[in-house]
Amino acid sequence: MAVEPDLTPDAPSEVQTELLTFRADLVESYRQVTESGDEVEAEELRAEIATVDEELRQLGMRGRLPSIDLPTKKAVKRSTKRRQDSPNLPTRKVSKTTVGREYAGAYRPSMFVTLTCDTYGKVRGDGAPADPGTYDYRRAARDAVHFSALIDRWYQNMRRVVGFDAQYFATVEPQKRAAPHLHTAIRGSISHEVIRMVTAATYHQVWWPNHDRVVYVDRMPLWDMGKRVFVDPETREALTSWDDAVDQVEDPAHVVTFGAQVHSKGILGGTAESGRHIGYLTKYLTKSTGEVVEATSARQADHHDRLHAELSVTPCSPRCAVWLLYGIEPKGANGKMTPGHCKGRAHRRSTLGLPGRRVLVSRKWSGKTLVDHKADRKAFVRQALAVVGIEKPEPDMSRLLWRKVESNDPQVPPRAHLVMRAIAERITWKAEYDRALLAAAGPPGGQETSAIPEAA
């Protein structure tokens, strides 16, 4: 890319404005029923607001939406002074340019970088620890949970050091030892020494309450309907709230850093070398995490079991139900929460802590917004379907009016009917798209001339 992308946001559409107004009304109603103590109605309104937020995202809204809960306490401010055990970084004023420096009037090289987690103990060729008893599973689990935050901090530091708004496309994949590592392409040339220096100086501090010792093992905290808090099963005293626990934090509960192994290489677009590195970035895009994290030996399966056991007692966010095992009530706790059971991806046996964001793309990487990319995907699918005679016209969203559905509305079908209709619709869509792909592929053994398989 030789021209700076223009991502000036469009003015909000009429539909977006109506949805935002509708959300504001829902938030006002939610705060009123919360003050009155109607937990059932508050839960329904919370779910409705989440649906509206998802619709706003689909319509192209960016940024963070205001919280539906009023802040109860002033946020705790932590020192931004760098740690004494971390090297300092030179900083420059970051310019708005993103395309990188041009050499010899025609060449704009980019960088391909691979970063890994730190070592937790010696491992064998299949990734299993040589000595599972000394392998640091706790640090491995916590590093995996907070790896995304560490990556974000690395990109921030890189931009401050190089002095321009470096853009990136990256994927996170597991190593044989099941620890995440990063492959990233960065637009613009950066010296290898700078990359190593930034990596060594990048860290992420987790300012959470200490969670080294599990408090509740056999008897779990109970939900008190009257007080609307979790209480101790013996004393019936309320657990420490999240805000109070954070106020007492004096030292970070964990510090995440990268490993010493850093690989960086300069590449030119359009060369065979760039195609090979693009393969590194895209080879896992069509695979689920369960297909990637798969044990190939008994020792590796035992290693995965041990790591999963540690992840089961490692909180993944301030709202994680695992906090209840440590005597701390998480943010947004309610009666539906089960102590120690969180639905987050970090706790699943099939993911082993891999972050939910496995593909990371900066906003100005392609010069297109999320709405543009969504429109491109829709146009591609419609074009593929049109080849086999399936027309999918764009629905007119301006004809729709949004309102909250009352529970006693006779025109609303039963929830079971709505779910079955959605499933049938998804099955139909998949069958139509599979038909289009088969038609584009041609007869078995024939030469591929369609671009659809390549694009897909």
Q: Tell me the pLDDT tens digit for each residue of 242-270.
A: 999 999 999 999 999 999 999 999 888 77
Measure the CA–CA gap between 128 and 305, rounded to whole angstroms.
11
What local confidence, expressed as pLDDT, does residue 345 receive? Answer: 87
Residue 157 burial (CB count, 10 A): 18
Segment 71-83 shows an average pLDDT of 67
Cα-flanking dihedrals φ and ψ of residue 427, to 5°?
Answer: -65, -40
Q: Is the pLDDT of residue 424 over 90?
A: yes
pLDDT at 453 over 50: no
CA-based torsion, 376, 282, 153, 192: positive or negative: negative
Q: Does pLDDT of 310 surpass 90?
A: yes
| Mean of per-residue pLDDT scores for the chain | 84
H/E stretch holding 114: strand 110-117
How does pLDDT run across 362-414, given as a tens digit for each residue?
878 777 766 777 788 888 898 889 888 888 887 776 677 767 677 778 888 88
Angle at 285 between CA 283 and CA 290, to 5 degrees: 100
Report phi then psi at 283, rounded to 5.
Answer: -70, -20
Question: CA-to-CA distance for 49 and 75, rounded, in angstroms?
Answer: 24
Task: Give the pLDDT of residue 39.
Answer: 79
Percentage of residues of the chain with pLDDT beyond 90: 40
Q: For 413-423, what is each residue's pLDDT tens digit?
A: 888 898 999 99
**pLDDT, position 407:** 73
Q: Is 153 exposed, middle or buried (0-12, 13-18, 19+ CB in 10 A)?
A: middle
Q: Please report the pLDDT score of residue 292 as a whole number.
A: 63
| Helix H or strand E segment including 260 | strand 254-267
**7 has pLDDT over 70:** no
Tell me if residue 359 falls in helix, strand or coil.
Answer: strand
More confident site: 43 or 291: 43
What's the distance, CA 92 to chain centroid?
Answer: 29
The per-residue pLDDT for 149 is 92
pLDDT for position 448: 43
- Using DSSP bridges, classify how beta strands 180-186 and 168-174 pair: parallel, antiparallel or unpaired: antiparallel
Where do the domains of the chain lie, and which CATH numbers do they carry? 11-82 (no CATH), 110-212+251-316+334-361 (3.30.70.1910), 370-455 (no CATH)
pLDDT exceeds cutoff 80 at 134: yes
Contacts of 380 (CB under 8 A, 6+ apart): 455
452 falls in which pLDDT band (50, 70, 90)? very low
Higher pLDDT, 364 or 332: 332
Phi, psi (degrees; rounded to nearest 5) at 33:
-70, -25
Q: Say how far apart CA 453 and CA 384 lie, in whole Å.
A: 10
For position 445, what pLDDT does the model report?
A: 61
* 6, 90, 190, 357 from 289: Cα distances, Å: 34, 38, 31, 11
The pLDDT tens digits for 12-33 are 888 888 899 999 999 999 988 8
Q: Measured in whole angstroms, how far is the alpha carbon of residue 238 from the centre of its chain?
A: 32
Sign of CA dihedral 384, 386, 392, 396: positive
- Enclosing H/E stretch for 150: helix 147-162
Burial bucket for residue 371 (CB in 10 Å: 0-12, 13-18, 19+)? middle
Percent of the chain at pLDDT exceeding 70 = 88
Q: What sign for the dihedral angle of Cα 88, 94, 98, 104?
A: negative
What pLDDT was estimated at residue 454? 39
Please report the pLDDT score of residue 288 as a whole number.
58
306-321: average pLDDT: 95
Task: Name every residue whose Cβ is closer than 8 Å to that of residue 244 and which is 6 or more positions away in sequence.
Answer: none
Residue pLDDT, tens place only, 157-191: 999 898 888 889 898 888 889 999 899 999 888 99
- Report the predicted TM-score, pTM, of the whole model to 2 decimal places: 0.74
